[in-house]
Amino acid sequence: MDIDLLFKIAAIGILVAVLHQVLVRAGREDQAMMTTLAGLIIVLTMVIKEISTLFNTVRTMFGL
Amino acid sequence: MEFGIIALIIIIILKQYKPEFSVYVSIIAGIIIIFLIMDKLYGIINLLLNISNKTGTGSEFIGILLKITGIAILTEFAVSICKDSGENAIASKIDLGGKIIIISISIPIITALLEMLLTMLS
């Protein structure tokens, strides 16, 4: 729960962008779209995990 | 504060290549900053609870007040993210939902206040 999470997401984003360009240049648009979706889903699961920890801490702290 | 600036730089870089990742980075930056504030908040809450226990009057209202602040923090978190990504309609719906929940939670306080007024008047 600190700064490396941000860097992880930035790295995945840039990696997906590069992969997308490479695959598009290689003429495989569908696989390019697949890698973009895969990158999005990976980042989404990480973000959802963090959001659930946030909600749990706020709930336990404020007695909700 | 430094987390916010680092996240801002990352978002600017990411926006050129993949705009959809910038939303995730802003969410994670918000969560990290809230977690940094959490321990200070915890101290404040304990202080409030101790004071209310000492005085003994209206200790259940302190619980409701804490609930309301918790809900306010979470709804504001969601509203600002929706506004950032340009979804003002969803942001206003979340805001509305938060307000209604806060009102529904604060009903005991309102009834207690009215009863106090009635007893004073009669």
State the complex-level ipTM: 0.81
Query: What does the pLDDT average to over B44-56?
Result: 84
Q: Going by C-beta distance under 8 Å and a sequence separation of 6 or more, which residues neighbour residue B113?
A: none
B76 belongs to a structural domain: yes
Burial annotation A32-50 (CB, 10 A radius, 16+ → b, else e): beebbeebbeebeebbeeb
Longest dimension (CA), chain A: 55
Query: What does the pLDDT average to over A27-32?
Result: 90
Other CB atoms closer than 10 Å to residue A58's CB: what's the count? 19
B115 belongs to a structural domain: yes
Alpha-carbon span A58 to B86, nearest angstrom: 26
Vertex A11, ends A32 and A22: CA angle to 5°? 30
Domain residues for the domain of B72 are 58-121
Where does the pLDDT of residue A1 fall: very low under 50, low under 70, confident under 90, or very high at 90 and above? low
8 Å CB contact of B27 and A54? no
8 Å CB contact of A13 and B21? yes
Helix, strand and coil percent figures for chain B, each rounded to 5: 90, 0, 10
Split into its structural domains, chain B has a count of 1
Q: Which two tokens stand for residue B2?
A: 């430094």
Comparing alpha-carbon positions, the chain B residue that sits nearest to A63 is B67
Burial annotation B77-109 (CB, 10 A radius, 16+ → b, else e): bbbebbeeeeeeeebeebbeebeebbeebbeee
User: How would you classify residue B117: left for phi > 0, otherwise alpha for psi between -120 and 50, otherwise beta?
Assistant: alpha
pLDDT tens-digit profile of B104-121? 999 988 998 899 899 999
B78 belongs to a structural domain: yes
Comparing alpha-carbon positions, the chain B residue that sits nearest to A59 is B70
B34 belongs to a structural domain: no
B22 belongs to a structural domain: no
pTM of the model: 0.81
B30 belongs to a structural domain: no
B50 belongs to a structural domain: no
In the chain, the amino acid numbered B82 is: C
B27 belongs to a structural domain: no
B residues 70..109 contacting A (CB < 8 A): 70-71, 73-74, 77
Three-class secondary structure of residue A31 per DSSP: helix
